[in-house]
């Protein structure tokens, strides 16, 4: 990383300063660091050149070109462009970077490569977008077309770069956005992108419209997972289909960013049954009719689906409709299935068997050229649990064809879904008591989560792995039954190697633990105090890695098992009645084990007499368990005697 910085900034003094501030992701007293990305977002990669030689136009090569520290404004030693034969200027140009974890972005810099005679820069100041969801986003779907991205207002270009629709051939320039005036919550996410604006072109015509890039980077700091606000209406983030062919909208056909163009064209509330100008088709030259046709939406939210409607566009001479009534599927996991047929992916898609089409639409294996029609399914008769998910699709059968049998596809102009959003949160979270150090994995989602891996990290080394700190799931002492301890063969929860105060991690290789809604599991007093910089990542049994929220709470009173603000005999009764049971019964004020043990009694004894108003950390003189039982029994007897003499 230091060598990259030195390439950009030749000053020896500045390079030395940067090596101190940027050498690690989080360093005290440094305002911002160059963040280390994991991948690239782009709308097209063309004429890629790396280290002076031409390379394949791939995502991996594009990522290397833009992050290897070489700034080449003049030549074609190290750059690529977004040239995509976009003579109509329809595919808006963008570039961005993705990160393994969430960051707060303070600035974004784009270095432009050689400006060709027919393009190389944006025609006007581009917008800045922050990626708010890492799960449902395509690598080359325009950010302005996907709700997974949020455009931020207030980004200021600071170099005075001049944008013009007409290109000036020659050396590229620097575009830098200062984001520090934007509220922190708005600029925290898993990635950023600059774009949403067309590339420029030569003066003689509007041909090509592209940008030329040589280096991009962002400065900022690691940040907690942003709080995700749950939309109140169904809001799709992308389209899924077996093919995205000839997408068009607003009278323009053949959008080159086919998936993004398809998404916009069937989600813009324009229905043209008699036209190919606003929609797309699933044409794949499938003359054998071997590929089933489908269309659907994905969402960032968990939804209950009430109905789904497909508006068919122009029926061509060789196809345009399903050859029989299609099936309805619900996506049960928050992942991007893209072109995978739902009927071939039962791990992610669930079929609503028996869904009835309600418009009386006539299906036939032979196409009738002309206007398309409406296909609609009322799903309200299905149990809510069955029609709740992260997406919905219609398909699973073949498209129709001409009498010759050629092509087999559907033509769609609009896709519409009704229902309600299920309020979040949708992920597990890590609750950290900053007063007691106890850490819980909690499931507040409205559904069960199958967990097979978790990792907690702390850049400042705030994790306590001692016997009195971390309560490993591998440790069989007090381990609840649904978190079995492994024997080293993957048959239960087992620690990773190389753990220290900066990272703890465990996995269940050959199985998973189901965490029911409103459940939690304690990791003991894992937080040693100090910098509140814990990061939490877990994996579901479906193979989805999720970076989840870390929530800090305070004010817990050790030993106050009933949560009334005082450590007294009543708390002993809670301990006695739950001995050997789930430690959640102790209101988060226990010793940190997953079950109630004698360690919780010792904690209660040490804090007997404390209150939330005046809390003492010095041990109090309290009776042993046998004396407490006698006192409790005497209190009960006296209470009965008083009742008898009333």
Residues with Cβ within 8 Å of residue 600, at least 6 apart in sequence: 561, 575, 583, 586, 590, 591, 593
The pLDDT tens digits for 315-362 are 999 999 999 999 999 999 888 899 999 999 999 999 999 999 999 999
Q: Which CATH number fits domain 236-421: 3.20.20.70, 2.40.50.100, 2.60.40.10, 2.60.120.260?
A: 2.60.120.260
Question: DSSP assignment of 432-498, as one string?
Answer: EETTT--EEEEE-SSS-EEEEEEEEEETT--B--STTSB--TT--TT--TTSPBP-SSSSSEEEPSS
What are the backbone dihedrals phi and psi of residue 18, each rounded to the nearest 5 degrees, phi first? -65, -35
Q: Are 398 and 488 in contact (CB under 8 A)?
A: no
The pLDDT tens digits for 88-142 are 666 789 999 999 889 999 999 999 999 999 999 999 999 999 998 877 777 888 8
pLDDT at 634: 27
Distance CA 632, CA 76 (A): 85
Question: DSSP assignment of 241-291, as one string?
Answer: ES--EEEEBTTB---SSHHHHHHHHTSSS---TT-SSSEEE-----TT--S
pLDDT at 255: 53
Distance CA 315, CA 331 (A): 28
Q: Are 226 and 114 in contact (CB under 8 A)?
A: no
What DSSP designation does 619 have?
P
Span 428-553 CATH architecture = Sandwich (2.60)
Domains 31-222 and 236-421 belong to one CATH topology: yes
The pLDDT tens digits for 35-87 are 999 999 999 999 999 999 999 999 999 999 999 999 999 998 999 999 877 76
The pLDDT tens digits for 370-429 are 999 999 999 999 999 999 999 999 999 999 998 887 789 999 999 999 999 999 888 899
How many Cα atoms sit within 13 Å of 376 on the Cβ side? 15
Distance CA 55, CA 79 (A): 10
Is a pLDDT exceeding 50 seen at residue 630? no
Top-level class of domain 31-222: mainly beta
The pLDDT tens digits for 431-447 are 998 888 889 999 988 88
Q: Using 50, 70 and 90 to split pLDDT, how confident is the model at 476?
A: confident
* Domain residue spans of the chain: 31-222, 236-421, 428-553, 569-642
Closest residue by Cα to residue 326 from 236, 235, 395, 256 = 395
Higher pLDDT, 191 or 588: 191
Closest residue by Cα to residue 461 from 38, 28, 29, 21 = 28
Report, as an integer, the average pLDDT of 179-190: 94
Torsion angle of C-alpha atoms 281, 287, 289, 294, degrees rounded to 10: -10
Q: Is the dihedral of CA 351, 356, 361, 363 positive or negative?
A: positive
- pTM of the model as a whole: 0.72
The pLDDT tens digits for 513-567 are 999 988 888 898 999 999 999 999 999 887 888 888 898 887 677 888 887 778 8
């Amino acid at each position: 990383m230091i060598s990259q910085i030195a390439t950009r900034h030749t000053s020896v003094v500045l390079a030395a300063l940067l090596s101190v501030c940027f050498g690690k992701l989080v360093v005290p007293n440094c305002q911002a660091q160059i963040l280390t990305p994991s991948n690239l977002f782009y709308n097209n990669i063309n004429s890629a050149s790396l280290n002076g030689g031409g390379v394949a136009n791939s995502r991996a090569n594009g990522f290397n070109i833009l992050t290897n520290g070489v700034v080449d404004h003049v030549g074609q030693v190290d750059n690529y462009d977004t040239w995509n034969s976009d003579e109509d200027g329809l595919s808006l140009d963008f570039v961005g970077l993705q990160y393994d974890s969430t960051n707060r972005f303070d600035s974004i810099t784009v270095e432009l490569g050689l400006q060709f005679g027919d393009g190389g820069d944006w025609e006007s100041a581009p917008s800045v977008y922050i990626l708010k969801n890492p799960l449902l986003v395509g690598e080359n779907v325009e950010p302005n077309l996907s709700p997974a991205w949020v455009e931020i207002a207030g980004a200021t270009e600071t170099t005075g770069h001049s944008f013009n629709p007409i290109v000036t051939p020659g050396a590229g320039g620097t575009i830098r956005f200062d984001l520090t005036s934007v509220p922190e919550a708005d600029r925290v996410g898993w990635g950023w992108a600059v774009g949403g604006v067309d590339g420029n072109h030569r003066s003689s015509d509007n041909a090509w419209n592209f940008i030329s890039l040589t280096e991009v980077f962002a400065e900022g700091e690691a940040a907690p997972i942003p709080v995700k606000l749950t939309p109140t209406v169904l809001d799709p983030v992308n389209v899924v289909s077996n093919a995205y062919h000839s997408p068009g909208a607003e009278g323009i056909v053949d959008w080159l960013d086919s998936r993004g163009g398809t998404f916009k064209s069937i989600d813009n509330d324009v229905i043209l049954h008699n036209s190919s100008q606003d929609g797309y088709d699933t044409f794949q030259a499938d003359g054998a009719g071997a590929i089933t046709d489908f269309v659907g939406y994905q969402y960032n939210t968990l939804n209950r689906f009430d109905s789904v409607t497909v508006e068919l566009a122009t029926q061509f001479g060789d196809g345009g409709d399903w050859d029989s009534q299609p099936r309805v599927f619900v996506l049960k996991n928050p992942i991007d299935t893209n072109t995978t047929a739902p009927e071939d992916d039962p791990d992610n898609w669930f079929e609503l068997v028996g869904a009835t089409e309600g418009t009386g639409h006539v299906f036939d294996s032979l196409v009738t050229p002309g206007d398309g029609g409406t296909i609609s399914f009322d799903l309200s008769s299905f149990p809510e649990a069955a029609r709740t998910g992260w997406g919905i699709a219609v398909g699973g059968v073949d498209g129709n064809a001409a009498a010759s049998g050629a092509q087999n596809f559907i033509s769609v102009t609009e896709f519409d879904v009704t229902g309600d959003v299920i309020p979040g949160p949708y992920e597990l979270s890590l609750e950290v008591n900053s007063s007691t150090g106890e850490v819980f994995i909690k499931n507040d989602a409205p559904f069960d989560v199958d967990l097979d891996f978790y990792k907690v990290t702390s850049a400042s080394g705030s994790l306590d792995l001692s016997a009195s700190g971390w309560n490993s799931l591998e440790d069989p002492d007090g381990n609840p039954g649904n978190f079995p301890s492994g024997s080293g063969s993957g048959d239960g929860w087992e620690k990773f190697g190389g753990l220290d105060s900066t990272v703890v991690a465990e996995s269940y290789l050959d199985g998973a633990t189901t965490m029911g809604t409103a459940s939690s599991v304690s990791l003991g007093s894992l937080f040693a105090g100090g910098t509140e910089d814990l990061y939490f990542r877990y994996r579901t049994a479906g193979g989805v890695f999720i970076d989840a929220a870390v929530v800090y709470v305070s004010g817990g009173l050790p030993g106050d098992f009933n949560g009334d603000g005082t450590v007294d005999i009543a708390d002993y009764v809670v301990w006695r009645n739950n001995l050997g049971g789930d430690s959640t019964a102790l209101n988060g004020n226990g010793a940190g084990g997953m079950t109630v043990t004698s360690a919780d009694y010792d904690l209660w004894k040490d804090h007997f007499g404390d209150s939330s108003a005046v809390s003492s950390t010095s041990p109090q003189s309290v009776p042993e368990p046998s004396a407490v039982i006698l006192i409790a029994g005497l209190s009960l007897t006296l209470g009965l005697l008083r009742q008898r003499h009333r």
